[in-house]
């Protein structure tokens, strides 16, 4: 007579506590990755702010070396550096000053003062920047062609504040490019600018 003995192997599944702990660990790891991996839109905004800041400084050098009158014209699509030539504003196609487009989701706001830069004699300024007599340009078209930011051959620039922010971000994230003295241009985050303003006041 042959007899056989064996061992019964019992299989045990995961308990509810183990499953919940595993899910919690995965959730914490996902949140960590979210903070570690930079947001692509913020990266594009950061790059655009740094790029525009460097281009403005380069435009100052360009104007100074060539005794040229330059301008920066911004709209919802992007920005263009222009030069006053032949009694009109002409887009620059020079390396480093070519027209650029904003990345998707980036918006701008600019406050600029050109009166002090151009001088007090409004009639002389108006005569200098008047279009040719035979030019058939409406007042609206002429206004649209005007740059918001001016850079003179002396390197002087309009006193201005240019804010770049993401369209869908209301937390105060963004960058400020500005000139408070009409010559030195600075770049700082909006949060840093707000903190400096609070300290000054």
Q: Is the pLDDT of residue 193 over 60?
A: yes
State pLDDT tens for residues 101-129: 999 989 999 999 887 777 655 555 665 66
Strand partners, 81: 72
d(CA 198, CA 175): 17
Q: In the numeric block, which tokens belong to residue 183?
A: 């010559």
Read off the tokens for 59.
């435009």
**Element (H or E) spanning 3, and its range?**
none
- Spatial distance between the Cα atoms of 107 and 174, rounded to a whole number of angstroms: 10
| C-alpha–C-alpha distance, residues 97 and 55, integer Å | 7
Query: What was the pLDDT predicted at 59?
Result: 96
How far apart are alpha carbons 174 and 165 in whole angstroms? 4
Lowest mean pLDDT among 60-69, 99-108, 125-134, 155-164: 125-134
Q: pLDDT class for 26, splitting at 50, 70, 90? A: confident
What is the pLDDT confidence band of residue 142, given thresholds at 50, 70 and 90? low
Q: Give the architecture (CATH level 2) of 38-200.
A: 3-Layer(bab) Sandwich (3.55)
Q: How many CB atoms lie within 10 A of CB 64?
A: 15
Query: For residues 165, 170, 171 and 172, what is the CA-based torsion angle, rounded to 10 degrees?
Result: 40
Centre a 10 Å sphere on the Cβ of residue 24 and count the other Cβ atoms it contains.
10
Higher model confidence: residue 135 or residue 51?
51
What residue segments make up the domains of the chain, in order of their start?
38-200
d(Cα 131, Cα 66) in Å, to the nearest integer?
22
């Amino acid at each position: 007579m042959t007899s056989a003995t064996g061992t019964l192997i019992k299989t045990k599944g995961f308990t509810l506590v183990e499953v919940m702990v595993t899910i919690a660990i995965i959730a914490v790891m996902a949140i960590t990755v979210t903070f570690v991996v930079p947001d692509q839109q913020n990266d594009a905004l950061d790059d655009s702010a740094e790029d525009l800041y460097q281009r403005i400084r380069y435009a100052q050098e360009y104007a100074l070396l060539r005794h040229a009158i330059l301008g920066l014209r911004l709209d919802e699509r992007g920005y263009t550096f222009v030069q006053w030539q032949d009694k009109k504003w002409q887009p620059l196609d020079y390396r480093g000053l070519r027209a650029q487009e904003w990345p998707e989701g980036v918006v701008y706001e600019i406050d600029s003062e050109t009166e002090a830069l151009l001088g007090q004699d409004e009639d002389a300024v108006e005569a200098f920047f008047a279009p040719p007599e035979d030019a058939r340009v409406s007042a609206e078209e002429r206004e649209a062609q005007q740059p918001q930011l001016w850079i003179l051959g002396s390197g002087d620039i309009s006193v201005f504040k240019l804010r770049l922010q993401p369209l869908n971000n209301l937390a105060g994230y963004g960058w400020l490019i500005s000139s408070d003295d009409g010559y030195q241009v600075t770049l700082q985050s909006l949060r840093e600018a707000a903190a400096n303003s609070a300290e000054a006041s």
